[in-house]
Chains A and B, each alone.
Chain A
Amino acid sequence: MNEPLDDATWHRLDRRMLVVQPVQELRRFLPLLVGAFLAGGTARGGGLGWELVAVAVPVLLGVARYLTTRYRIHDGRVELRRGLLQRTLRTAQLDRVRTVDLTSGPVHRILGLSTVRIGTGAGADQDLDLDSLGRDDAQRLRVALLDRAALEGAPLTDPGADPGAADGAAPPEPDRVVLRLDPSWARYAPLTSAGVLAAAALLGVATQVVPDSAWRLDRLPDLTPEGGGWVVLLGVGLVAAAVASAVLAVAGYLVAHWDLTLTRTPRQWRLVRGLLTTRETTVEDARLAGVVVREPLGLRLAGAAELGAVVTGLGGEQKGTLTLVPPAPAAVVAGVATEVLGSRSPAYAPLHGHGPAATRRRWLRALSPVLVLLVVAAAGVLLADVPALVLVPVALLLLPAAALARDRSRSLGHALVEGHVVARSGSLVRRREVLGVGHVIGWTVRDTWFQRRQGLVTLEATTAGGRQRVTVLDVPEGAGLDLASGSSPGLLAAFVRDGR
């Protein structure tokens, strides 16, 4: 199993993939198949030919894919050759390999197979996909790809004098488990925005599925007479939707994150998770640009948080952010963040606030829509025949708006901590973003006419991972530029003036 892969010979996909491919192709052709059988069954005879074609084509496609796909590691490159009529050869330098993703769907797992996706950071369409290899072969390929990449990028030196402190000190013992998911954390799932979304989706489905007649007044005679029945019905409906969405959120959490294990290897972080489809993502230290601590309001009130890793070159549906810790107790998140960053401070040290002008902007932005609404309502009461009672609920809206403004202005903050740019903002979805200084590419300084009058700017550190930027909202210009100069001194030196 440990024979070297770098021997210039071409390797094929695993033979067992011949079984997966037809099953998957069949699934893709299922609508067509059903159509073929229905047409063949209900219409006149002679449909059998089409059914055979519909079954045979996907099977042949799978065989063709098996026969024509080959890969090898040779001369510092990984090469993938495929195609029957239109042949393609895709190559990537080993030192450009950023991430290796092993995914096994249910069918793959039964057969002991894994799909390998090699990320090069040039966009998801440039990734190298191998569907599929035997589990051992896939692991061997991962080791060959990433260990070679690590060795060639930076030759191993004395482990005692490891300079990689900025991205987490490498522990001497190999493969240490940093985090293993506790299934009881699934209780936090309904508190995330995903839980709320599930509720909305469920409500949407319910209104679509339940026939229109069920909503008609005259079909509900027992409930309507006093008018109070509707309130009961509405209440029951809302409670049912809330319970169902909570159950869905918990189930979704467990399916996605079951058995989540974060492992520290000497030069990489490895994350394995999934109940039905298992995914294994390996990220090199050099590709881990920073972390994001997300605290949606619900999680924050429950003393929980979630942690994402900002990874350069992570493609596909993960969009550059890898969920290291799904919603979990804040202490767990803090522990993992400390391990990943090599220090607790970047993710938890106190931040510099953005001052009274930024606070005023938060209040103005939160209150002005409600105030406009209030003026409109007042005009309606005075000029038209709108009952004055309308003013009460509108005025009550000021309370949540004020709470939001207060929380948003308290969230604002930034700092330069131990070689990391740190920025925090938001209330309903509060995010604290931590980005290693070495991963900051450039800076964008944005200000509107209003911001200029108050001496504020919105600062962005651009980066190749995560959301492609870390935003410092409404920071006083001087403090913002100090942050930028402090983290990229060579870049800004020629353009800043210290006009003290």
Chain B
Amino acid sequence: MTTLRPPAHRVDPRARLMWQLGAATEVVVLVTALVVTSPVLDLYDLRWWMPALLATYAVGRVGLVPVWRYRVHRWEVTEHAAYTQTGWWARERRLAPISRIQTVDWDQGPLERVLGLANVTITTASAAGAIAIAGLDQATAESLVAELTVRADAAPGDAT
């Protein structure tokens, strides 16, 4: 049976930390909101399983999912194609030919800036065909953008 091999490179290991920090922020906000509202609004009796449920969610969200995500996320750029694998529960592998690249974007959020990471997004003429690589080392991302831009320029035609 024909199968698709995974892309060659993992993203930077710090991406795991970035996803964990993002998830932790989310969990802290959620817990704070619950702690603040429960005595004030007196909406519900706190049962033993409620904190348990919340703890399970927090452990999964912070401990499990980012690790799973890091194991899935991979990328590869060859002479002819860009290939990525993203997701965790639902996995998504995207392939686009270099000759059809329209734009190459580089961006960095505040958390990524602290960790020295960056994202690269490659768009094609199809609105459904953008390829995003998250959590790359900043320098790797920069050289990847330069490389892709040169290769895309070299390809003839209007990329539709």
Contacts and interface: CB of A to CB of B under 8 A. Distances in A.
Chain A interface size, under 10 / 10 to 19 / 20 to 34 / 35 or more:
35 or more
A96 B160 CA distance: 10
Interface stretch (A338-346, A351-359, A444-452): A444-452
Interface string B134-160: 000000000000000000000000101
B96 A441 contact: yes
Interface in B1-34: 1-5, 7
A441 B5 contact: no
Contacts of A443: 94-95
Contacts of B92: 444-446
Given A445-B92, A448-B89, A448-B90, A482 B80 contact: no
Contacts of A444: 92-95, 128-129
B97 interface: yes
A460 B5 contact: no
A494 to B, nearest CB: 6
Interface in A81-112: 95-96
Task: Please classify the interface of chain A as helix (H, G, I), strand (E, B), loop, or mixed, using the class held by over half of its residues.
Answer: mixed
A322 B125 CA distance: 19
Contacts of A492: 4, 95
A463 interface: yes
Contact of A462 (B4, B91, B128): B128
B83 interface: yes
A446 B124 contact: no
Contact of A447 (B81, B91, B124, B129): B91
A442 B160 contact: no
B1 A469 contact: no
Contact of B126 (A442, A447, A478): A442
Contacts of B160: 121, 312-313, 464
Contacts of B97: 441-442, 488, 490-491
B3 A464 contact: no
A468 interface: yes
B95 A442 contact: yes
B5 A495 contact: yes
A308 to B, nearest CB: 17
Interface in B95-112: 95-97, 100
A315 to B, nearest CB: 12
A26 interface: no
A312 B2 contact: no
Nearest to B80: A490
A469 B94 CA distance: 13
A442 B93 contact: no
B2 A464 contact: no
Interface string A458-500: 0010111001110000000110011011001011101111111
B114 interface: no
A446 B85 CA distance: 9
B125 A491 contact: no
Contacts of A494: 78, 80-81
Given A448-B89, A468-B128, A482 B94 contact: no
A37 B7 CA distance: 70
A441 B2 contact: no
Nearest to A286: B160
Contacts of A448: 89-91
B127 interface: yes
Between A443, A469, A490, the greatest number of chain B beta carbons within 10 A of the residue's beta carbon is seen for A443
Contact of A441 (B76, B89, B91, B100): B100
Contacts of B5: 495-497
Contacts of B93: 444-446
A446 B89 CA distance: 11
Contact of B80 (A441, A445, A469, A491): A491
Between B3, B7, B131, the greatest number of chain A beta carbons within 10 A of the residue's beta carbon is seen for B3
A98 B19 CA distance: 43
A488 B83 CA distance: 14
Interface string B58-83: 00000000000000000010101101
Contacts of B131: 442
Contacts of A96: 158
A463 B131 CA distance: 14
Contacts of A446: 90-93
Contacts of A467: 128
Given A462-B126, A462-B128, A497 B3 contact: yes
A441 B129 contact: yes
Given A446-B90, A477-B1, A494-B78, A464 B125 contact: yes
Between A313, A442, A482, the greatest number of chain B beta carbons within 10 A of the residue's beta carbon is seen for A442
A452 B90 CA distance: 9
A500 B3 CA distance: 10
Given A446-B90, A446-B91, A488-B97, A441 B1 contact: no
Contacts of B129: 441-442, 444, 462-463, 468-469
A452 B91 contact: yes
Between B7, B100, B125, the greatest number of chain A beta carbons within 10 A of the residue's beta carbon is seen for B125
B4 to A, nearest CB: 6
Nearest to B5: A497
B45 to A, nearest CB: 22
Nearest to B85: A445
B104 to A, nearest CB: 15
Contacts of A498: 2
A129 B78 CA distance: 41
B4 A495 contact: yes
A474 to B, nearest CB: 13
A95 B156 CA distance: 14
26 contacts: A312-B125, A313-B160, A441-B96, A441-B129, A442-B100, A442-B131, A444-B93, A444-B128, A445-B93, A445-B94, A446-B90, A446-B91, A446-B92, A446-B93, A448-B89, A462-B96, A464-B125, A464-B160, A468-B127, A477-B1, A477-B3, A481-B4, A491-B95, A492-B4, A494-B80, A497-B5
